[in-house]
Amino acid sequence: MGQAMKIAIVDDEKDMRQSISQWLALSGFDTETFGSAEDALKALGPEFPGVVVSDIKMPGMDGMQFLKRLMSVDSALPVIMITGHGDVPMAVEAMRVGAYDFLEKPFNPDKMTELAKKAANNRRLTLDNRALRRELSDGTGLMKKLIGSSPQMERLREDILDLGQADGHILIDGETGTGKTLVAHSLHAVGPNPSRAFVIHSCAGVEEDVLAQRLFGPLDEGGRLPLIEEARGGTLVLEDVDALSHTLQGRLLTWIDEQGSPPETRIIAISNLQEQGKSCEDVLRPDLYYRLASMKLTLPPLRTRGEDILTLFSRFAEGFADEYGCEAPDVSAQEAAQLLQAPWPGNIRQLINIAERAVLQSRRGTGTIASLLMTDAQEIAPTMTTEGKPLKEYVEAFERMLIDNTMRRHRGAIVQVMDELCLPRRTLNEKMAKYGLQRADYL
């Protein structure tokens, strides 16, 4: 059971609370007893790492009022109520208010243990989940890998937290390299069962019967479990879902329907049809499409993410510079404009690649970012134009990047940054506020 979960036992009858406590302690729980709801309330906070077992009939605050108070402190706290024999209406009311379950007196101690274990498990998942969610929204963990502060990225983060926590299937569409696979990982990580299986498989370029067997079984010669079994209870990511044949789509549909709702195994279907100007809606059977696309995420192409392009470039360049033990190249205003204007058909993957080559180039002291962009795609305008975007946007994005890089290099030492950029303190402060840059992030 890992670290022992706590059980708070609340009963005005001493014998009763002690016998429950002894019994549950034998099953490995860390028990604590309270003679009244009032006493218990003082000890139970919103992050209580365990389960509450409470009698309903008690002098002073009764079990029902106690339950209501607990629910307002933490509505996900599992509370097991003990009701008098035949007290069905009371039990029903307790469940309505949010009790986890109830036990009728006299109860079988094994049943109590079993219920407590289930409730403790449920509690552990809730707390893990909250911790993960906090961690992710704090910017550590997987979500930290998602760089960018453009409105599109902010919305994507929110969507990931929301959809990840919901329990339906999800469809992700977006051009190649926009982060679909990374987002699928993040969705699983913020979801209700991050410790369960995460299985990822591509439906493209495989013969139909081979794919059918891999997905649905029976076991292949290697004795590998079919993917739907391997992923059971967790997440099954189907990359290139649009490559599924009509027959396999039908089998997938049947399997989805057999699971009922909420599904035991969540499917995250991925396609990049958008890139070809098509939609999964045009290619998948409508019945399957609607089951998968009940929640849909479309990842924005890099070229529409504005200043994120420069942020991503700087971050990745710094990362590679660290790796290769050299300095990250300085990005001139002209190069920044070129990065902002490039069409980025390979999106973030392409940008990572260019950042790496730019670092290697600057280590050798040759070449420009422009030439890298040029060799990557001929269609990039060789001269700087402001077509499509107002000049102001480029200037601001560049300014933001310069301040960000300089702050980073000087680890937030304001005076050095002021000197280097020839900016008075007030102007620097104003600009940092304008671009959402905080000194604390650089220290």
Ligand X SMILES: Nc1ncnc2c1ncn2[C@@H]1O[C@H](COP(=O)(O)OP(=O)(O)OP(=O)(O)O)[C@@H](O)[C@H]1O
Among 46-54, 122-130, 210-218, 346-354, the segment contacting ligand X (CB under 6 A) = 346-354
Q: Does 19 bind ligand X (CB under 6 A)?
A: no
362 contacts ligand X (rule: CB under 6 A): no
Smaller CB distance to ligand X: residue 148 or 194? 148
DSSP 371-434: HHHHHH-TTS-SS---TTS-HHHHHHHHHHHHHHHHHHHTTT-HHHHHHHHT--HHHHHHHHHH
Q: What is the DSSP string of 243-293?
A: GS-HHHHHHHHHHHHHH-SS-SSEEEEEE-GGGGT--HHHHS-HHHHHHHT
Query: Is residue 306 involved in binding ligand X (CB under 6 A)?
Result: no
From 62-70, 81-89, 181-189, 329-337, span contacting Mg ion (CB under 5 A): 181-189
Contact yes or no for 362/327 (Cβ under 8 A): yes
User: Could you tell me the sign of the dihedral formed by the alpha carbons of 372, 377, 383, 386, in that order?
Assistant: negative
Shortest CB 181 distance to ligand X, Å: 3
Total number of residues that touch Mg ion (CB under 5 A) = 2
Q: How far apart are CA 23 and CA 120, in angstroms?
A: 15
Q: Using CB under 5 A, which of 121, 152, 181, 213 touches Mg ion?
A: 181
Which position among 33, 54, 193, 272 is part of the footprint of ligand X (CB under 6 A)? 272
**Among 40-48, 113-121, 180-188, 217-225, the segment contacting Mg ion (CB under 5 A):** 180-188
Q: Note whether 401 and 314 are within 8 A (CB).
A: yes
Q: Which residue is nearest to ligand X (CB)?
A: 179
Of the listed pieces 26-34, 178-186, 214-222, 361-369, which binds ligand X according to CB under 6 A? Answer: 178-186
Three-state DSSP state, 65: helix
Q: How far is CA 315 from the centre of its chain?
A: 21
Tell whether residue 423 is a contact of ligand X (CB under 6 A): no
Among 78, 177, 194, 234, binds ligand X (CB under 6 A): 177
Determine if 348 is a binding residue for ligand X (CB under 6 A): yes
Measured CA to CA in angstroms, residue 353 lies from 317, 419, 440 at distances of 10, 33, 30
Give the shortest CB-175-to-Mg ion separation in angstroms.
11
Q: Pull the structure tokens for residue 102.
A: 């109830």
Q: Which of 122, 137, 181, 368 binds ligand X (CB under 6 A)?
A: 181
Task: Name which of residues 66 to 125 contact ligand X (CB under 6 A).
Answer: none
Selected binder of ligand X within 174, 194, 300, 329 (CB under 6 A): 174
**Minimum CB separation from ligand X for residue 202, in Å?**
9
Q: In this structure, what DSSP letter does residue 81 have?
A: E
Q: Phi and psi for 336 in degrees, rounded to 5?
A: -60, -45
State in angstroms the smallest separation of the CB of 275 from ligand X.
8
By C-beta, is 19 or 181 nearer to Mg ion?
181
Q: How far is CA 76 from the centre of its chain?
A: 20
Residue 215 or 270: the one with the smaller Cβ distance to Mg ion is 270
150 binds ligand X (CB under 6 A): no
Q: How far is the CB of 241 from Mg ion (least distance, A)?
A: 12
Q: How far apart are CA 122 and CA 125, in angstroms?
A: 5
Q: Phi, psi at residue 29, to the nearest 5°?
A: -85, 150
From first CA to last CA, the distance across the chain in angstroms is 40
**Residue count, binding to ligand X (CB under 6 A):** 16
CA distances for 412 relative to 145, 224, 443, angstroms: 22, 53, 5
Question: Which one of ligand X, Mg ion, none interacts with residue 234, CB within 5 to 8 A by kind?
Answer: none
Can you tell me which of 176, 213, 259, 368 binds ligand X, judged by CB under 6 A?
Answer: 176
> Applying CB under 6 A, which of residues 349, 408, 409, 410 lies at the interface with ligand X?
349
Looking at the Cβ atoms of 24 and 348, the one nearer to ligand X is 348
Binding mask 396-415 toward ligand X (x if CB under 6 A, else -) reads --------------------
8 A C-beta contact, residue 401 and residue 311: yes
What is d(CA 309, CA 152) in angstroms, rounded to the nearest whole number?
12
Helix or strand run (H / E) with residue 34: strand 30-34
| Interface with Mg ion (CB under 5 A) | 180-181
| Interface with ligand X (CB under 6 A) | 145-148, 174, 176-182, 272, 348-349, 352
